[in-house]
Amino acid sequence: MTIRVAIAGARGRMGQEAVHTIMKNTEMELVAVLDYKDIGKTLEDTNLFPPSYGAPIFTDLTELHKKTSPDVLVDLTSPESVYKHTKEALALNIRPVVGTTGFTDEELEELTAISKESGLGCIIAPNFAVGAVLMMKFAEQAAKYLPDIEIIEMHHDQKLDAPSGTALKTANLIAAVRPAHVQGHPKEKETFPGARGADYEGMRIHSVRLPGLVAHQQVLLGGEGQLLTIRHDSFNRGSFMSGIVLSVKTVMNLKELVYGLEHIID
Ligand SMILES: NC(=O)C1=CN([C@@H]2O[C@H](COP(=O)(O)OP(=O)(O)OC[C@H]3O[C@@H](n4cnc5c(N)ncnc54)[C@H](OP(=O)(O)O)[C@@H]3O)[C@@H](O)[C@H]2O)C=CC1
Ligand SMILES: O=C(O)C1=N[C@H](C(=O)O)C[C@H](O)C1
């Protein structure tokens, strides 16, 4: 069976790469694109894609669903719109595969409940790159032995959210195995606000934004006389595409929300 895929955010850095990936995949069909502004009737009108890319563009998900009946909605948009898209998709019986970051814990909890109630699969993956998933899992394992941790995430300077979804997911995995505790000197004081980064149960998260970067993270674990550094680099957005393909295929057989690619890779 061919999986009918719609993409939200097709004009973006990730969206464009995802459009090419789905178009090339013989087990999938790109049936529609969701945008929030009028950019033409089909992808071809955007001048971003070859003339053979004829997927129609909609600005309303209900209309998109009525006309093109997608099985899956891949969301690669912005922290501002992703929660609404995901909720609407679930209500329309479309399985969301979400790469967009910036969900609050409450939003994740609500979407988990909706997905479970409706028995409709949903995948929210803060990072689709397999190497990044391994970096997070290795950090989680190491945290049991070296519980003093700082996360440094580094991204291109057009990124809207900080800390990154990957850094938050890493901290979340580590926090499940590491008792919360204050790190550094108990009397430490910031003479410049923000100098010590964000505080996640005592772990510090630092966000670097610079032109030239794509997506990079290192987890520093310090112990007496030693430092373990676990690092991952995405040098291009091709690194995320196999995770998107795997998620689109897997979500078809899920009955609830899965948060993180680590739950679906073998
Ligand atoms: N999970 C993962 O592995 C990865 C996740 N990401 C995440 O994916 C998201 C997108 O990243 P990136 O491609 O770099 O960002 P871009 O800004 O390049 O792309 C986002 C696109 O979505 C469009 N858009 C914004 N709002 C809507 C909406 N309501 N409906 C439809 N389209 C919309 C934007 O249009 P306009 O610019 O006109 O506003 C833009 O074209 C981010 O949250 C990022 O963190 C990124 C890389 C990997
Ligand atoms: O905005 C990005 O580029 C990325 N966003 C995701 C995140 O916030 O972790 C995944 C990856 O780091 C690239």
The CA–CA distances, whole Å, from 149 to 139, 178, 196 equal 9, 10, 12
Provide the sign of the torsion angle of the four alpha carbons 176, 181, 184, 187, taken in this order. positive
Residue type, 157: D
Of 75, 166, 240, the residue with max ligand 2 atoms within 8 A of its CB, to mutate for a pocket test, comes to 166
Of 77, 160, 235, 247, the residue with max ligand 1 atoms within 8 A of its CB, to mutate for a pocket test, comes to 77
Q: How far is the CA of 220 from the centre of ligand 2 (A)?
A: 19
Q: What is the pLDDT confidence band of residue 13, given thresholds at 50, 70 and 90?
A: very high
* Residues paired with residue 189 on neighbouring β-strands, in sequence order: none
Tokens of 59: 């600005």
Matching CATH number, 3-124+238-263, of 2.60.40.3080, 3.40.50.720, 3.40.50.1470, 3.30.160.60? 3.40.50.720
Specify the CATH number of the domain 130-235.
3.30.360.10
Q: Render pLDDT for 141-196 as a digit per residue (tens, 0 to 9).
A: 999 999 999 999 999 999 999 999 999 999 999 999 999 999 999 999 999 999 99
Binding site listing for NAD(+): 9-14, 38, 99-101, 125-128
Give the start-to-end residue ranges of the domains of the chain: 3-124+238-263, 130-235
Q: What is the pLDDT confidence band of residue 118, given thresholds at 50, 70 and 90?
A: very high
DSSP 3-state of 67: helix
List active site positions: 155, 159
What atom in ligand 1 is closest to the CA of residue 35? Answer: 31
DSSP 3-state of 247: helix
Per the model's pLDDT, the better-predicted residue between 51 and 129 turns out to be: 129
Nearest in space to 173 (alpha carbons), one of 212, 206, 134: 134
CB 167 within 8 A of CB 229: no
pLDDT of residue 266: 74
DSSP 3-state of 3: strand
**Which protein residues are within 6 Å of ligand 2, measured from CB?**
101, 126-127, 155, 159, 164-166, 215
Complex confidence, ipTM: 0.99
Binding site listing: 9-14, 38, 41, 99-101, 125-128, 156, 165-166
The CA–CA distances, whole Å, from 39 to 95, 106, 180 equal 25, 33, 48
Q: Render pLDDT for 85-110 as a digit per residue (tens, 0 to 9).
A: 999 999 999 999 999 999 999 999 99
